[in-house]
Amino acid sequence: MISLALMLIGFSLFSALSLALTHFRAVHYEGQATSRIMGLVLLLALAGLQLAHFAWLDLDWPWIESPVYRTLLFAVAPAFFLYSEPLLRPQVHSAFRPAQIAHILPVIIAPALPASVALPLAFVVGAGYLLWLARSLYALRRERANFRLEMIWLSVVFTIAIGVSILGLIQAVLPGKLFFTLYSISIGLAFLLVQTTLNRRPQLSTEVSETARAVYANSTLSNVDCNAALVQLDALMKDERIFSDPDLNLAKLAEHLTLSTHQLSELINSRLGKGFSRYLREHRIDAAKTMLCNEPSASVLSVGLSVGFTAQSNFYEAFREIEGMTPGQYRRLHEKA
């Protein structure tokens, strides 16, 4: 079992670095600077814990007894809360607020706590944050059809976290290095599930935020002819190809429709069952698929730029997310058909 733990520790460290460099980019967290920063802090804390677990399980170095380990242990739950809150509760301002300092207090006092007290207390605190997460996700239950697979994987992560919290409370009676072995495996499995989810849906954080905003907002469409607005929106996309504007955003599109950004966001979410960013990417990818098939001499980069993407990496990421393959693979598959 220790061998599995060591393998997953290595994966966790690689995954943390990969997520920091790819997922936690500004483009994935527009207007959500706090979430992005706290996400990076969370990755750092989990990576630090896994390094301490490696030192203990493989080298017998007692880093798990150090004040640094206790600090990282108490940092995980608050960092996750401060990462998730602006995404799941968009009615809360995304900017940092003084009241959020309270979430940092456990991290500050952690080094002064005895190891025998710190470990179970950290998991009690973590359990409290898990209850908040469950309540916030329950509020989005009506949108679960849009994130069915992601919700299943998140439920698995949630179950793992509950199991670790229970083990943390009784870790003193567990033999040898069993608790830290299981804790290392749990963190590694959580990284694996998160990495899989984000590889499938890189813009997940943006989509969740848009969906949550529509759920929490009071309806803004009472005086809007939704059917006419949808017809006009469809014409803008299909006839005028407004999606090819690389600077197109929610506010700019709403202006074309004489709607507010909140009205357009709610319209797309409630009537089309997706967020604005997903809706825009789907139109761009549909146009790119047509070009890839009809213009075989055009480079993949030129196709991506012509439909509104600003970089080849963004084009590949969106194409793989929606079609499950790269643009080049899609073109070759079509040529063979």
113 or 58, which is more confident?
Answer: 58
Confidence category of residue 126, pLDDT binned at 50, 70, 90: confident
140-197 pLDDT, tens digit per residue, is 655 555 555 556 666 676 677 777 777 777 776 777 788 899 999 999 998 988 888 7
Q: Are 255 and 300 spatial neighbours (Cβ–Cβ below 8 Å)? A: no
Out of 180-184, 291-295, 332-336, which region has the weakest mean confidence (pLDDT)?
A: 332-336
Question: In terms of CATH, what superfamily is 220-336?
Answer: Homeodomain-like (1.10.10.60)
Q: Residue 91's pLDDT is what?
A: 54
The answer for residues whose C-beta is within 8 angstroms of residue 189's C-beta and 6 or more apart is 8, 160
CB contact at 8 A, 203 and 322 = no
Residue scoring higher pLDDT (266 or 316): 316
> Coil, strand or helix: which one is 280?
helix
Look at residue 112 in the predicted model and tell me its pLDDT.
87
Distances (CA, A) of 171 to 111, 176, 180, 190: 19, 10, 9, 20
- The residue whose two tokens read 């047509």 is 290
pLDDT in tens, 134-145: 777 666 655 555
Distance CA 39, CA 30 (A): 14
Q: Which residues of 213-223 are buried (b: 16+ CB within 10 A; e: fewer)?
A: bbbeeeebbee
Q: Identify the pLDDT of residue 149.
A: 58
Helix, coil or strand: residue 30: coil
pLDDT of residue 199: 76
Q: Which of 248, 329, 247 is nearest to 288 (CA)?
A: 329
Q: Tokens in use for 249?
A: 């955003």
- Does pLDDT of 333 surpass 80? yes
With pLDDT > 90 as the criterion, what percentage of the chain qualifies? 35
First to last CA, the chain: 48
Q: Which of 246-250, 259-263, 303-307 has the highest mean pLDDT?
A: 303-307
